[in-house]
């Protein structure tokens, strides 16, 4: 048992409980006397948290009555407990190990020398010091108000630590596990307990002092299957990547057009780490690595935030999103393209257009409105995608809108752009037909000067 007490007088102790809700309750509001949990109702030696030093004793058959969840705590300041077992007291306290020495140091009340001598004599010879504690407590119930707690050896539980109320920050939860008694059939299997340690750095006092949203976040962090907005914000701000990864794996095929968890993760990372580009890139990388389905808002958030980092990273993100860029709705596409340089806009369109099929008129018009000049490849891809005749019907008014009444500019722009279409593989198949279509359109819209100039140059 002594290996569970460390040189700095801290100890690892264990307690069973019946449900995960009880564990989360400890994180959100600590140990309450009003709880139906065993730590609230067990007052045999005084009301408090009853734990064992040795994990083995948590797998005795009768422990089934306390529940299937096992909690691991760290208790500090063991020297401030009444230590009844002689061997343990000597280890922790040295020469002043006797019960009489401890009571003089720990409590203000006075005892007769006869009472003290009797307690010391029992400590020397009694193998189960739970009997000493029971008799002492029954006569002196005030001790639960003056002592931090007691350690003793029981007939069934082995070495135990009892922490009286109120339970303060000297006892902190460091892990929990679903570990039914029957699952540990041999001594060797005790080392294979699957501990959840997501909240190993959270002391109970820290949670008392947290804001309500932080309490909820930390409470959810304890249970890797319970994800809330608060817990995701907290984890993103604090770079808790294992928790984020677990969430992304479980929601890889989930999207919600009304709410974007992708946006929540990225924006929380930015808020928590405003000058840390690596943290932002790490979050986007995790999202792209584990999620398989993205909403329009998801795609927009990823693109917009990656664009603010660096050009190489942005281009890598565009390529990794690939076909998911099809999910951008028309408004998101328009807003996003407005923020790109001509160079990045050209890269983006060249990368994503091959994934787009059956473009709507509104999409084509948005792309044409934002199109960088002289982008032959993009124009030809669009023409191939929607069909030459339909594309020309979209294209010709767009050119006119862009140049307004400037005839010279209109002629130059029209000739250049229409030539790209007519020289594309799709346009060459029936160039005469498409050229005639262009002539008719120009004749109806342009002045004779423009008409003659354009038609002459297109021949």
Domain boundary among 300, 333, 356: 356
56 and 150 in a single domain? The answer is yes
Say yes or no: 28 and 166 in one domain.
Answer: yes
CA-to-CA distance for 184 and 56, rounded, in angstroms? Answer: 9
At 98 the pLDDT is 96
Looking at residue 55, its pLDDT comes to 85
How far apart CA 441 and CA 459 sit, in angstroms, is 16
Q: Are 5 and 88 in contact (CB under 8 A)?
A: yes
d(CA 453, CA 456): 5
Check whether residue 162 and residue 255 sit in a common domain. Answer: no
Q: Under DSSP, is residue 6 helix (H, G, I), strand (E, B) or coil?
A: coil
Asked whether the beta carbons of 374 and 341 are under 8 A apart, the reply is no
Do residue 166 and residue 248 come from a single domain?
no
In a domain, 211, yes or no: no
Residues 61 and 180 in one domain: yes
Chunked mean pLDDT (size 10), the chain, 459 residues:
62 84 61 47 82 86 82 90 93 93 93 94 93 94 92 89 86 80 53 59 42 50 58 82 84 73 87 86 92 87 87 91 85 83 84 77 78 70 73 69 55 65 68 69 57 58
Segment holding 365, helix H or strand E: helix 361-370
Same domain? For 63 and 135 the reply is yes
The closest of 321, 262, 315, 250 to 287, measured between CA atoms, is 262
Task: List Cβ<8 Å contacts ≥24 apart for 337-342.
Answer: 337/366, 337/367, 337/370, 338/370, 339/304, 339/307, 340/307, 342/372, 342/373
User: What is the pLDDT at residue 117?
Assistant: 95
Query: Do 74 and 10 share a structural domain?
Result: yes
* Pairwise CA distance, residues 23 & 168, whole Å: 16
Residue 435, domain member (yes or no): yes
Distance between first and last Cα of the chain: 97
At 201 the pLDDT is 41
Strand, coil or helix: what is 388? helix
- Mark whether 36 and 95 lie in a shared domain: yes
Q: Establish if 319 belongs to a structural domain.
A: yes
Same domain for 189 and 279, yes or no, is no
CA distances from 234 to 46, 203, 209, 302, 366 (A): 38, 16, 15, 20, 38
Domain containing 419 equals 371-459
Residue 262 lies inside a defined structural domain of this protein? yes
Domain count, the chain: 3
Within a domain: residue 125? yes
- Indicate if 40 and 158 belong to the same structural domain: yes
> Are 158 and 199 in the same domain?
yes
């Amino acid at each position: 048992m002594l290996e569970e007490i460390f040189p700095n007088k801290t100890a690892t102790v264990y307690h069973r409980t019946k449900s995960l809700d009880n564990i989360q309750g400890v994180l959100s509001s600590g140990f309450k006397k009003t709880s139906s949990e065993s730590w609230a109702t067990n007052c045999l030696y005084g009301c408090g948290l009853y734990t064992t030093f040795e994990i083995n004793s948590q797998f005795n058959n009768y422990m089934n009555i306390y529940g299937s969840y096992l909690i691991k705590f760290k208790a500090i300041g063991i020297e401030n407990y009444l230590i009844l077992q002689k061997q343990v007291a000597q280890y922790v306290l040295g020469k002043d190990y006797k019960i009489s020495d401890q009571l003089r140091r720990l409590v203000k009340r006075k005892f007769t020398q006869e009472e003290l001598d009797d307690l010391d004599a029992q400590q020397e010879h009694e193998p189960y010091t739970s009997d000493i504690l029971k008799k002492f407590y029954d006569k002196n119930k005030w001790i639960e108000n003056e002592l931090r707690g007691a350690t003793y050896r029981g007939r069934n539980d082995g070495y135990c630590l009892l922490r009286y109320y109120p339970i303060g920050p000297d006892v902190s939860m460091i892990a929990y596990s679903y570990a039914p008694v029957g699952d540990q059939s041999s001594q060797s299997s005790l080392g294979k307990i699957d501990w959840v340690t997501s909240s190993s750095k959270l002391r109970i006092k820290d949670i008392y002092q947290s804001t309500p949203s932080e309490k909820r976040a930390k409470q959810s962090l304890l249970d890797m299957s319970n994800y809330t907005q608060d817990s995701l914000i907290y984890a993103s701000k604090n770079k808790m990547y294992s928790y984020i990864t677990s969430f992304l794996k479980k929601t890889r095929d989930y999207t919600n057009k009304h709410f974007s968890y992708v946006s929540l993760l990225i924006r929380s990372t930015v808020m928590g780490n405003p000058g840390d580009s690596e943290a932002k890139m790490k979050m986007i990388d995790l999202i792209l690595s584990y999620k398989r389905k993205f909403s329009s808002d998801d795609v927009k958030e990823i693109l917009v935030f990656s664009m603010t980092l660096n050009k190489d990273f942005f281009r890598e993100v565009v390529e990794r999103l690939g076909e998911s860029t099809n999910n951008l709705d028309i408004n998101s596409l328009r807003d996003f393209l407005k923020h790109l340089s001509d160079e990045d806009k050209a890269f983006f369109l060249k990368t994503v257009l091959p994934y787009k099929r059956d473009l709507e008129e509104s999409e084509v018009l948005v792309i044409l409105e934002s199109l960088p000049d002289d982008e032959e490849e993009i124009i030809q891809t669009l023409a191939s995608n929607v069909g030459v005749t339909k594309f020309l019907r979209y294209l010709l008014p767009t050119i006119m809108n862009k140049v307004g009444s400037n005839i010279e500019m209109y002629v130059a722009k029209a000739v250049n752009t229409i030539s790209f279409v007519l020289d594309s593989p799709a346009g060459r198949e029936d160039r005469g037909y498409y050229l005639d279509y262009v002539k008719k359109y120009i004749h109806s819209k342009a002045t004779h000067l423009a008409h003659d100039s354009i038609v002459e140059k297109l021949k």
